[in-house]
Structure 1
């Protein structure tokens, strides 16, 4: 198995420690005469449903997913980092997910090198790369690299899943509560180290440093005092998650408004207002899943889609040479 496959696929491989310098890209062939390949980038603040949408899209197109959430790239802490489970993946290949040693550094440069290898690997199998995650600074570094190599090679389709911040804040708070019910505290407790460095590796993830004080003082406190500290840690995790969501939204707006990224914005607020009901699933299908499928289907690509006819209603697909272009007629 080649180095690129070790880097890209979420398989049973040794955990990776990245070197400080750039990875060797000699095995990635760049052909300037080749037509631009197509890459879809799904963006959005934490909790907006990016992972769900990526898997929905992979049901309609021959696609593979590249994780761009730097905390989810690490092995371990699946509840804290909210990793998509194998069941939720529904057989869709995922790259750069849970492949890193928990103590390794994973810089933007490391991500760009690994993501480029993943993109080439996926395209080499005549499939569509879907880059999905909330680490927008890493995505920006990949797309707008210094020599614009990425844009010179690939045609990018940006899809932004947006949710009103007050509504998202409520959802994120409830999600943290659910994570606690699912065993988050015990998951973090197993990795607690009083000498830990919270500036490195997976310990930077929201949900780890917030519980440091609780674990340090827990043995010396009575039940009531422990409960107070636990609630404080959970509240801090919620607040830090909401701060992250606001920073992510600000970065997306900067990329759109100042750097001119042409984004397709999908407003999923109605979905989240109906969260937990059958109506929410229907709203997701109509406002997010089907709309994004139409967007991607109108995006020129190099393969035949598996899009259902009823979803593709009103979209006529025509062949141009060896590529396929889609448009509404």
Structure 2
């Protein structure tokens, strides 16, 4: 029995995934599933570089604006939602496409990872959450570095939810989270064309800096202030890059310029981590998007690869 066909477009922030994915979707009669862990949140538009209705050009998009900013969201929930959604799109004789930059989310759909089997200890988790409140993010992250250095390298200290989850898995099994995932069958569930977009690092970093400047020009400060005034804190959404830095400014911890510089620096570091993760974890066919290049030419090249890979 033939496996279901799926197109996946990944790459670091600001590399140009949105524009290219729309062009490819038009050619494939595709519908796009967002593989971004932050664009799920309503009202968090500017800071997440969320695609606009105009930019969609009529291409249906899924998993955007599906959660309130104080809701949690997990990779297991993403997996549980996306697999049936792929079937729904295929039943309409359209091509499902996952587009985004959250690597573990995308990996969880492509491979047969069983998150429900991961062990848990609610009491241990509560103790860690209390310790987090008392000692802070770095202290909890240091605990992880002591028992599971590989996971500590991959999980940012700000992502306390994942840090605590990794500690919980180690506590229950005495096996690092990364090894726990490796023990599961690493077999693709789909006939997938996995496209990675990359770019000269200096050019990419310039684009990231410019994107932050545009976000500020388009009202990022007001967007973050809205959530700040609502008293939204200690949530998965507000810990995201683009929000936590501005919160520090509103809290009086840093100056306006320091906040923006930190936002740019964190975004650049995130892009670097994304590229490293994709190259280590997924079998990606990479396409260099460094200017000067003709966008239409790259669309042709990538479409030809997809057509050949999926035998369209």
Partner of 2:295: 284
Deviation string for 1:136-177 (max 9, x for gaps)? 011112222336899564201100000111111111001100
Partner of 1:203: 238
Higher helix share: 2
1:176 and 2:202 are equivalent in the alignment: no
Contact 2:199 2:289 in 1 (8 A): yes
Stretch deviating more after TM superposition (114-123 or 138-147): 138-147
- For the residue of structure 2 that corresponds to 1:201, the secondary structure is coil
Q: Which structure has the larger Rg over C-alpha atoms?
A: 1
Distance 2:212 2:18 in 1: 17
Against the structure 1 CA distance between its residues 152 and 234, is the aligned structure 2 distance closer, same or farther, given a 3 Å change threshold? closer
Against the structure 1 CA distance between its residues 215 and 234, is the aligned structure 2 distance closer, same or farther, given a 3 Å change threshold? same
Partner of 1:266: 287
Partner of 1:63: 30
Partner of 1:234: 260
1:251 and 2:277 are equivalent in the alignment: yes
Partner of 1:115: 82
Between 1 and 2, higher relative CO (CA 8 Å, sep ≥ 6) is seen in 2
Counterpart mapping for 1:36-47 below 5 A: 36-47=3-14
Deviation string for 1:211-264 (max 9, x for gaps)? 12321339xxxxxxxxx81111111100000010010010011024xxxx1x22
Partner of 2:92: 125
Deviation string for 1:95-123 (max 9, x for gaps)? 10111121111100000011112111101
Contact 1:143 1:150 in 2 (8 A): no
- For the residue of structure 1 that corresponds to 2:33, the secondary structure is strand
TM-score (ref. length: structure 1): 0.69
C-alpha displacement at 1:197, in angstroms? 3.0
Instruction: State how many pairs are aligned.
Output: 243
1:53 and 2:79 are equivalent in the alignment: no
Partner of 1:29: none
Distance 2:88 2:228 in 1: 37
1:155 and 2:208 are equivalent in the alignment: no
Which of residues 96, 99, 102 in structure 1 aligns to 2:69? 102
Deviation string for 1:30-52 (max 9, x for gaps)? xxxx4211001101011111111
Partner of 1:165: 201
Distance 2:218 2:308 in 1: 40
Contact 1:142 1:150 in 2 (8 A): no
C-alpha displacement at 1:187, in angstroms? 1.0
Q: Name stretches of at least 5 consecutive residues in structure 2 with no aligned partner.
A: 115-183
Counterpart mapping for 1:7-18 below 5 A: none
1:146 and 2:121 are equivalent in the alignment: no
Against the structure 1 CA distance between its residues 150 and 55, is the aligned structure 2 distance closer, same or farther, given a 3 Å change threshold? farther
Across the aligned residues of Structure 1 and Structure 2, the Cα RMSD in angstroms comes to 2.1
Distance 2:186 2:31 in 1: 18
Distance 1:251 1:175 in 2: 22
